[in-house]
Amino acid sequence: MFLSVALIASSCNRDDVIVADPLPEIILGESGGVYSVKVGNEVRLAPDYENATDATYSWKIDGVEVGTERSYIFLGEEIGSYYISLSVTTAAGSDSEELRVDVIRREIPTIDIVGESKVVLALGSEKNFNSSVVDTSLDVTIRWSLDGEECGEGASYTFEAQEIGNYTLRATATNSDGEAFDEVAIEVLSAEDMPFMWDFEKESYHTVVGRKLLIAPTQISDTEDVVYMWQLGDEGEAIEGDSHFVFTADTAGEYHITATATATREGSPISITHKFIVTVYEDGAYYRAKSGTSSANWSKVYEYTPAPGQFINETKTGGFDGTQTTSEAAIAYAEARMSDENWVSLGGFGGYIILGFDHSVDNSGDYDFGILGNSFKGSSEPGVVWVMQDENGNGEPDDTWYELAGSETSKAETIQNYAVTYYRPSGAGMPVQWSDNLGNSGEIDYLKQFHRQEYYYPLWIEGESYTLMGTCLQARNYDASGNGSYWVNDAYDWGYADNYSPIDRLTEEDNAEGEINANHFKISNAIDFECKPIHLDYIDFVKVQVAVNAKSGWLGELSTEVCGMFDYNMTK
């Protein structure tokens, strides 16, 4: 009797045949029951159903019922993954499924105005400001406003200093998730009121008898009609000259120089005075001869200051571990990498590394030392090489750097004293912006598909910006495919590290596998600040510095890699 009643309740009679009603079914569809919503927003969970006539529904989170309708609206209050149980019940039975909602961050844009947060401009001048935003999946619009009044749109804006005063320039980035802004304060002054600057990196120099020493300012005003006076010693005659001074001594000793720059502002003279001490040593006074224990290999990394780049701070192929937050830790990282015959990236233009030997490397008149890199045909990322003698004998590379001439030296397209300033990004995942001393600007791209460390700006650089200066070669990279898929970084003839040179690699192997290989260098190719040859009997320190400011599409910035260094005289 009980069995008969159950059959009548769960089935129907069709032409005298007992047929069970079909069970309800939850159809999840293409989503597979997985939904995504940005934090603070709602998402409707609405699967399809079959055989759900007169059904009841139950939505539960952590066993607690939160809904009884066909669909359920979930509010994403906190970032994370949430699991929701759904059951549908009819007289014929039940079906159940588990759905997941991923609550993700909103892609509110982050924006930077490239450069310093305060700018002083002369009346009548103009300045172009560039902005940068974090790459998101949403379309972003950028608008500029000056003291609250909209004045432009797009990635850049040119400010014209037409009236004396203080201004606030704001760039606002907006997408469907929200907006963010960055500001720069602008002060416009008359030419007479512009700051008078004539700054030098140091006031103590040293050199060797007979060699020219350049004493040049690191920062100087654009003020015209400035008179520069240079006086050697307390009783020497003050001589009018340029903003820089070339000093040469015939005998060793200590020399004192007084320099004064005078500008006239509103009829009154304004002067800046600097006093310099130059210590002159005899050539070869601190030569370190080889001994039976001397090694042909480099012995110490003295400084590692890369430009920002895709391998800087990178914990996978780059080999960092996140603890490189001081210059000492960065040096230890570089030493460990090269000791293990691995490469160290120098980032974008100007990035450098300084190494030394446990002895002085002699000038043989031929190739004297080698620098290891990972160049191969179609992949050259040239580094300019500088050499230094330990002129004052203190064991530190604080003396005079001399560039080694290469195939591009003195060419019209080669830029001496080229300087690039890099700016710390305001948020993770942003490109690193730069500006140079020629009025150009750009960025080191953030390549999230390959290198996802938060910042390409070196963790151990404390400042909000830093400037690297060196010799810049004309880039030779090009898109061989025409569609951006295949880039070639062409080689230079000779004289550069990490360069597939047909001359100074001293081998005809094509190095198709990109193995470590050496470029070789002659101390006899040393030149001074005037690009004139200078004779050095030996050197103690070597600096390798990225020589191009370029990037190759999806490959990113051109970045010299150094894998080590050796005294070739000891291995010939």
The DSSP element (H or E) to which 336 belongs, if any, is: helix 327-339
Is the same domain home to 427 and 548? yes
Residue 232: band (very low, low, confident or very high) from pLDDT cuts 50, 70, 90? very high
Between CA 261 and CA 155 the distance in angstroms is 40
Q: What range does the domain containing 123 cover?
A: 111-192
**In a shared domain, residues 241 and 270:** yes
Q: Do residues 337 and 324 lie in contact, with contact meaning Cβ atoms separated by under 8 Å?
A: no
Q: What is the pLDDT of residue 511?
A: 83
Strands annotated E in 507-550: 517-521, 526-527, 538-546
In a domain, 294, yes or no: no
Residue with tokens 């951006």: 484
Mean pLDDT of 453-464: 94
Picking from 190, 171, 169, the residue whose alpha carbon sits closest to that of residue 119 is 169
Question: Are 160 and 223 in a shared domain?
Answer: no
Long-range contacts of 24-27 (CB under 8 A, 24+ apart): 24/49, 24/50, 24/51, 24/52, 24/55, 24/88, 24/89, 24/90, 24/92, 24/93, 24/94, 24/95, 25/49, 25/50, 25/51, 25/52, 25/95, 26/86, 26/88, 26/95, 26/96, 26/97
pLDDT value for 10: 43
18 domain residue, yes or no = no
pLDDT at residue number 264: 82
Looking at beta carbons, which pairs linking 128-131 to residues 24 or more positions away fall under 8 Å? 128/156, 128/157, 128/158, 128/159, 128/441, 129/156, 129/157, 129/158, 129/159, 129/169, 129/171, 129/184, 130/155, 130/156, 130/433, 130/441, 131/155, 131/156, 131/171, 131/173, 131/182
Query: Which of 93, 71, 92, 94 lies closest to 84, judged by CA?
Result: 71
Judged against a pLDDT cut of 80, whether residue 6 lies above it is answered with: no
Residue 387: pLDDT over 70: yes
| Rg value, the chain, Cα | 34
CA distance linking residue 247 with residue 172, whole number of Å: 51
Contact predicate 511/376, CB 8 Å: yes
3-state secondary structure at position 486? coil
Question: For residue 476, what pLDDT is reported?
Answer: 94
- The answer on 205 and 177 residing in a single domain is no
Range 357-371 average pLDDT:
98
CATH (domain of 187)? 2.60.40.10
95 within a domain of the structure (yes/no): yes
pLDDT, one tens digit per residue, over 112-170 is: 998 888 999 999 999 999 998 887 788 999 999 999 999 999 999 999 999 999 999 99
Q: What is the pLDDT of residue 8?
A: 36
Domain termination site, one of 141, 176, 192: 192
Model confidence band, residue 542 (pLDDT cutoffs 50, 70, 90): very high
Q: Are residues 355 and 465 in the same domain?
A: yes
CA dist 555 → 135, 346, 381, 552 (Å): 17, 15, 12, 5
The tally of CA atoms less than 13 A away on the side-chain side of residue 544 is: 32
The residue among 192, 222, 239 that closes a domain is 192
Is 517 a member of any domain?
A: no
| In-domain check, residue 119 | yes
445/454 Cα distance (integer angstroms): 13
> How far, in Å, CA of 252 to CA of 291, rounded?
28
Clarify whether residues 239 and 181 are in a common domain: no
Provide the mean pLDDT of the chain.
92
Q: Look up residue 379 and give its DSSP letter.
A: B
pLDDT at 89: 97
328 φ, ψ (degrees, to nearest 5): -65, -40
pLDDT at 285: 93
Q: Based on the structure, what is the number of domains in the chain?
A: 4
Confidence at 4, pLDDT banded by 50, 70, 90: very low
454: nearest Cα among 110, 115, 102:
110
Per-residue pLDDT at 572: 86
> Are 556 and 453 members of one domain?
yes
Comparing 72-81, 228-237, 265-274, 388-397, the range with the smallest average pLDDT is 265-274
* Residue 5 scores a pLDDT above 60: no
> Which residue type is seen at 275?
K
Query: Of all helices (H) and strands (E), which one includes residue 327?
Result: helix 327-339
Pair 241, 306 in one domain: no
Same-domain check for residues 53 and 65: yes
Q: How many helices (H) and strands (E) does the chain have?
A: 2, 45
Tell whether 369 is covered by a domain: no
Q: Within this chain, do residues 445 and 308 fall inside the same structural domain, yes or no?
A: yes
DSSP string, 553-566: GGG-B---EE-EEE
Is residue 437 situated within a structural domain? yes
Stated as kind and residue range, the H or E segment containing 3 is: helix 2-10
pLDDT at 191: 81
Instruction: Give the least confident one: 285-294, 385-394, 502-511, 545-554.
Output: 502-511
Please count the CA atoms within 13 angstroms of the CA of 479 that sit on its side-chain side.
Answer: 11
* Span 179-215, pLDDT tens digits: 999 999 999 998 888 888 999 999 999 999 999 999 9
If pLDDT is split at 50, 70 and 90, which confidence band does 107 have?
confident
> Nearest CA to 245 among 207, 283, 298?
207
Tell me, letter by letter, the H, E, C secondary structure of 206-250: EEECCCCEEECCCEECCCCCCEEEEEECCCCCCEEECCCEEECCC
Q: Is the pLDDT of residue 519 over 80?
A: yes
Average pLDDT of 65-84?
96
Domain boundary among 71, 104, 137: 104
pLDDT at 12 over 60: no
Q: Give the separation between CA 14 and CA 79, rounded to whole angstroms.
A: 53
What are the residues facing 519 on neighbouring strands? 371
- Evaluate if residue 11 carries a pLDDT over 60: no
Residue type, 41: N
Looking at the structure, do residues 254 and 333 belong to the same domain, yes or no? Answer: no
The model carries a pTM of 0.81
123 within domain boundaries: yes
**Same domain flag for 219 and 332:** no
